[in-house]
Amino acid sequence: MARITVRNEGASFEMPDNAPFIDYARDNTSIMFGCMKGECGICIITIVKGKENLNPPVHEEWLKLQKMGATPGQRLACQLWVKKGEIEIEY
Please pick, from the candidates 4, 15, 25, 43, the single residue that binds ligand FES as defined by CB under 6 A.
43
Task: Establish how many alpha carbons lie within 13 A of residue 28's alpha carbon, considering only the half-sphere containing its beta carbon.
Answer: 17
Q: How far apart are the C-alpha atoms of 39 and 45, rounded to whole Å? A: 14
Q: Is 38 in the site for ligand FES (CB under 6 A)?
A: yes
Answer yes or no whether residue 86 interacts with ligand FES by CB under 6 A: no
Contact call for residue 41 and ligand FES (CB under 6 A): yes
What is the spatial distance between Cα 83 and Cα 49, in angstroms, rounded to a whole number? 14
Min dist. Cβ of residue 8 to ligand FES (A): 18
Does 35 engage in binding with ligand FES (CB under 6 A)?
yes
Helix (H, G, I), strand (E, B) or coil at 47: strand
Does 19 bind ligand FES (CB under 6 A)? Our answer is no
Among residues 20, 36, 62, 88, the one that binds ligand FES under rule CB under 6 A: 36
Judged by DSSP in three states, 27 sits in helix
User: CA end-to-end span of the chain, whole Å?
Assistant: 22
Which parts of this chain interact with ligand FES (CB under 6 A)? 33-36, 38-43, 76, 78
